[in-house]
Structure 1
Amino acid sequence: MPKIVDHDERRLEIAEALWQVARRDGIHAVSVRTVAAQARMSPTALRYFFTTQDELLEFAMHAVADRVAVRVRSRLDAAGTPEGVRRLLEELVPLDDDRRLEQGVYLAFVVRAQTHPGLRAVGEEVESQLAGLVRTAMEALRASGGLGEGRSIGGAARSTYALLDGLAFQGALWPERHPPKELKKILHEHLAELASPLAGS
């Protein structure tokens, strides 16, 4: 009896192979051939799922964002306290190998997207999605009493998103210089600052 192939599962396996190639060898090394080799399948078989390299890259970028979003949303129910919000935001910081891989590949895609129209549109969509998650976290922080007097949800979301961008960049590119302990400390200090009254309020 022939084996039934789960197309969605196979596409995710291909995306995982793409992330591994990009993280190990750089985004320039991503091709149908290299990804097929990493996924242990033939280039012809890979093209059955993705007819062009552009389709492959766009799918992988969506998959990275979806993985992060699933983890963050899984913590939303526990975000009823400042501690819960902190743990939620830590999912967006490269504190372990999996998150470093996601951040490193995402940054590589962002760079390529500057000259790649298809990826640029996807990148803007992903950025909007992540910014929305951070705003949701700030709304939860306000509800739990973690935003100081005079601080707005919008302002807190913008500063937090900018901080997370910086932590992702440093932690993904220079993990030895910026270990997880340091990244967590910076995030915790930022949240402590948000909990204090805004100067002049």
Structure 2
Amino acid sequence: MDDEHLDGDSADDGPVGPPADLTRIKGMDLVRRTLEEARGAARVQGKNVGRGRTSPAPRRVAGNSRRRWSGPGPDGRDPQLLGAATSDLARSRGWSGRVAEGSVFGRWRSVVGEQIAAHATPTSLNDGVLTVSAESTAWATQLRMVQAQLLAKIAAAVGDGVVTSLRIVGPVGPSWRKGPYRVPGRGPRDTYG
């Protein structure tokens, strides 16, 4: 066996060097050309080009770092308002929808007004359907007539899409059930007869 063919190189392979179009370019022009090719390849892959460091800064050990002051401008370490901090927390954890649903119940009196809130209370919110319990049949009928205005007020207060429709129920009649078990009755009778 020949020593030339041990490495898998064939005899017609010459020395590997830069492409022919780069042999004429020297110095800084070669560096610029290579940088432009790298930027073009990054653009093709959809990456940001020319933005400097995109990876997070390396973490420093607490004992070795010096204290840095925030300076005259606003900084992420500056004190924040409690409402802004909690809304940022809810947004970052994906709780925004649940917080909006809870605010329907928490802000009910200010959203619908004192008069309606005195006679109707929200009881549940499932899949965008808010169930409202009225204290009398007359109030349930009245709320059904102003249902569109109530939905508009709720959407303005807590955001669109949180409450998509209202289910308004009247008062519930008395129940004579006692305990967890139930036996079918004899049917409707004259209870108060």
- Tell me which protein shows more strand as a share of its residues: 2
Smaller-chain TM-score bracket = under 0.3
Structure number with the bigger relative contact order (C-alpha 8 A, sep ≥ 6) is 1
- Tell me which protein shows more helix as a share of its residues: 1
